[in-house]
Amino acid sequence: MTVKPYKKADSSKKQQVADMFNNIAGKYDFLNHFLSMGIDKLWRKRTINMLKHLDSPYVLDVATGTGDLALMAHKRLGSKVTGVDISTGMLKVAEKKIKEKGVQDFVNVVEGDSENLPFDDDTFDAITVAFGVRNYENLHKGLSEMRRVLKPGGRMVILEFSRPSAFPFRQMYFFYFQRMLPFFGGLISKDKAAYEYLPESVLNFPDGENFDAELVKAGMKPVIRKKQTFGIATIYVAEKIQ
């Protein structure tokens, strides 16, 4: 089942996701840190750490949003980073951050569709995605496109929400995720549908071994899968088969 942010709209999931992020772009960073109590920053650091063995890799950050992961990749790896996103509103925030930090020579962002990436084959040493693959209209196409632009032997690192399994944390998590998060997210962002979509999209996402299977279908070799904070999120690491 395809989960869309705006159930009454006839537009595609891809268009609705772009509209949703345009609507909440101004509040996105604040809500990310507020609703996760800041732990999302730790998850991002651990995501980038999966690339520390590489020597200044050229990194593509897919679904870059406001650019947090792209900027962190440059800071921690000394890398040149290109971010791509479908939301012009999110990219405007990212461009402002890049300019404020004075790293325009190393970090840039472009508007683009993750399922039709505007890059040549075998361009990047590594690809990162934080909380983005869940929003793909066609997951297989998105993963296959990332594989296409990744160099042979290159590494893909994906941070995505998942579903905790241990009692009682699972029950507490779902109460927060399905009740409190939509309320506070909607109140602050003025777009309640966006924060109702979040838990729905997580519940319908093939996490854990199922996502590893999707990576294999796309021609990738899963090498690491690490749960974060009782399984709220998971970091998936895969390499392009040479």
The DSSP annotation for the chain comes to ----S-TT--S-HHHHHHHHHHHHHHHHHHHHHHHTTTHHHHHHHHHHHTTTTSSS--EEEET-TTSHHHHHHHHHH---EEEEES-HHHHHHHHHHHHHHT-TTTEEEEE-BTTB-SS-TT-EEEEEEES-GGG-SSHHHHHHHHHHHEEEEEEEEEEEE----STTHHHHHHHIIIIIHHHHHHHHHS-HHHHHHHHHHHHTS--THHHHHHHHHTTEEEEEEEEETTTTEEEEEEEE--
Q: How confident is the model at residue 236 (pLDDT cuts 50, 70, 90)?
A: very high
The model's confidence at residue 211, banded by pLDDT at 50, 70 and 90, is very high
Cβ neighbours around 227 below 10 Å, total: 15
Residue 84: the pLDDT is: 98
Residue 1 inside a domain? The answer is no
Question: What pLDDT shows up at residue 1?
Answer: 58
Record the pTM. 0.94
Averaged pLDDT, 76-92: 97
> Quick check: is 6 in a domain?
no
Residue 223 — very low, low, confident or very high, per pLDDT cuts 50/70/90?
Answer: very high
Retrieve residue 184's tokens: 């506070």
Do the domain assignments include residue 193?
A: yes
Residue 213 within a domain: yes
Alpha carbon distance 116, 124 (integer Å):
15
pLDDT tens-digit map of 169-210: 788 887 887 888 888 888 888 888 888 998 899 889 999 999
127 and 145 Cβ atoms separated by less than 8 Å:
no
Q: What is the CATH number of the domain that holds 129?
A: 3.40.50.150
How far is 131 from 133, CA to CA, in rounded Å?
6
Structure token pair of residue 25: 């772009």
Band of residue 63 on the pLDDT scale cut at 50, 70, 90: very high
Residue 4 within a domain: no
Residue 3 lies in a domain: no
- The verdict on residue 99 lying in a domain is yes
Number of structural domains the chain divides into: 1
- The answer to the question of residue 90 being in a domain is yes
Average the pLDDT over 110-122 and give the result: 97
Q: What band does 17 get if pLDDT is binned at 50, 70 and 90?
A: very high
Rounded to an integer, the average pLDDT of 145-165 is 95
Structural domain span for residue 219: 13-240
User: Residue 55 CB: number of other CB atoms within 10 A?
Assistant: 8
- What is the structure's pLDDT at 93? 97
- Residue 176's CB is within 10 A of a number of other CB atoms, namely 14
